[in-house]
């Protein structure tokens, strides 16, 4: 029996094999970038003639710039165990290359067949890059599963659970410390309308309802059908330090537009979900303990947070 059990694969062996396959694909693309970038950098004229592009001085400098981009991407891919950001940068670079080759095909002095062959090759590599970027993005973050982003964090707040719960339960307070939230507004039938900032200057909104509400212990919510971003979350309040402090545990799960690719795009623009949550609960701790948040770009105004905190406690604002 012991031998039979020892011979069985570990429960996560399949995931490990998948990750190793994704690693091999990423590394192969890294070495491919080196193989492409070196001749572009040191022999741009020969490279241009090979793909049928006019070997002008301007085109040589463009090819050198592309070679530097390829080598920089290769360094990031080969240096990191889960280089999802650099793989996505390859996709962006592929799109730029296809646009340049499309422009080259319009010029009568370029051998059209060579340029078309080069464009077909780039298109094929683009497909591989998109697949590698999506797969690596999904597995690079343990909070990403099947395209859905999951994150959990906790912090100890030096206030009693009833105070902490009371402040959070007024959902209009959430934008005071959740930097990406623009507003939370009460609607009819116990629904709440949330508006949040998104990458590239966009906003997303959704309506949510409370699924569970245990005073001083738990608040759980989920978005309603038709929301821009399907999501759910919960926050737990557990007594600490003999009831003088509260262990706050926040859990969120959402499906970004584009699933795994959308999550990769978000991380490219600094929208990493777990770090967001850690920053949010840190600001929540500041609001509860000091009445204000340290001001910085993308964070709520400290005076506004202080005023609403005092109002939630029934005390006059300063």
What residue ranges do the domains of the chain occupy? Answer: 15-140, 144-312
Average model confidence (pLDDT) across the chain? 76
**Predicted TM-score of the model (pTM):** 0.50
Q: What is the pLDDT of residues 261-296, one digit of tens each?
A: 455 445 444 456 677 788 899 999 999 999 877 655
Find out whether 152 and 250 touch, Cβ atoms under 8 Å. yes
- pLDDT class for 256, splitting at 50, 70, 90? low
Phi, psi of 82 (to 5 degrees): -130, 80
CA-closest candidate to residue 138, choices 264, 12, 270, 13: 264
The Cα 236–Cα 205 span in angstroms is 24
**How large is the average pLDDT for residues 189-210?**
81
Q: Determine the pLDDT at residue 5.
A: 39
Residue 190: which region, alpha, beta or left (left: phi > 0; alpha: psi -120 to 50)?
Answer: left
Q: Can you tell me which residue has the tokens 């570990």?
A: 10
Q: Does position 67 have pLDDT exceeding 60, yes or no? A: yes
Q: What is the pLDDT of residues 82-113, one digit of tens each?
A: 666 777 778 888 888 888 888 888 887 778 88
The Cα 299–Cα 243 span in angstroms is 30
Please, what is the angle between helix 84-106 and helix 259-268, to 10°?
Answer: 90
Max mean pLDDT range (8-12, 105-109, 198-202, 222-226) = 222-226
Q: Which fold is adopted by the domain 144-312?
A: Alpha-D-Glucose-1,6-Bisphosphate; Chain A, domain 4 (3.30.530)
């Amino acid at each position: 029996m012991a031998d039979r059990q020892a011979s069985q694969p570990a429960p996560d062996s399949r995931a490990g094999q998948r990750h190793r396959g994704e690693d091999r694909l990423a590394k192969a693309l890294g070495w491919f970038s080196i193989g492409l970038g070196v001749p572009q950098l040191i022999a741009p004229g020969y490279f241009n003639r090979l793909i049928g592009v006019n070997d002008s001085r301007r085109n040589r400098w463009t090819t050198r710039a592309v070679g530097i981009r390829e080598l920089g991407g290769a360094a990031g891919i080969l240096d990191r165990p889960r280089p999802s950001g650099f793989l996505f940068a390859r996709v962006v670079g592929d799109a730029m290359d296809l646009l340049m080759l499309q422009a080259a095909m319009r010029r009568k002095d370029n051998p059209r067949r060579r340029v078309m062959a080069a464009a077909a090759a780039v298109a094929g590599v683009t497909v591989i890059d998109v697949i590698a970027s999506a797969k690596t993005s999904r597995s690079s973050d343990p909070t990403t599963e099947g395209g859905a982003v999951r994150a959990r964090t906790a912090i100890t707040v030096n206030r009693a659970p009833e105070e902490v719960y009371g402040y959070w339960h007024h959902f209009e307070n959430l934008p005071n410390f959740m930097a990406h939230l623009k507003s939370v507004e009460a609607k009819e039938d116990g629904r709440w309308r949330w508006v949040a900032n998104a990458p590239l200057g966009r906003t997303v909104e959704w309506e949510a309802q409370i699924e569970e509400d245990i005073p001083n212990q738990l608040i759980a919510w989920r978005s309603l059908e038709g929301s821009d971003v399907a999501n759910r979350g919960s926050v737990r309040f557990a007594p600490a330090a003999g009831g003088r402090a509260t262990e706050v545990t926040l859990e969120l799960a959402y499906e970004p537009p584009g699933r795994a690719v959308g999550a990769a795009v978000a991380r490219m623009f600094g929208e990493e979900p777990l770090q967001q949550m850690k920053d949010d609960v840190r600001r929540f701790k500041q609001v509860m303990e000091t009445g204000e948040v340290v001001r910085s770009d993308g964070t709520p105004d400290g005076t506004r947070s202080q005023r609403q905190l005092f109002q939630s406690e029934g005390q006059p604002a300063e």
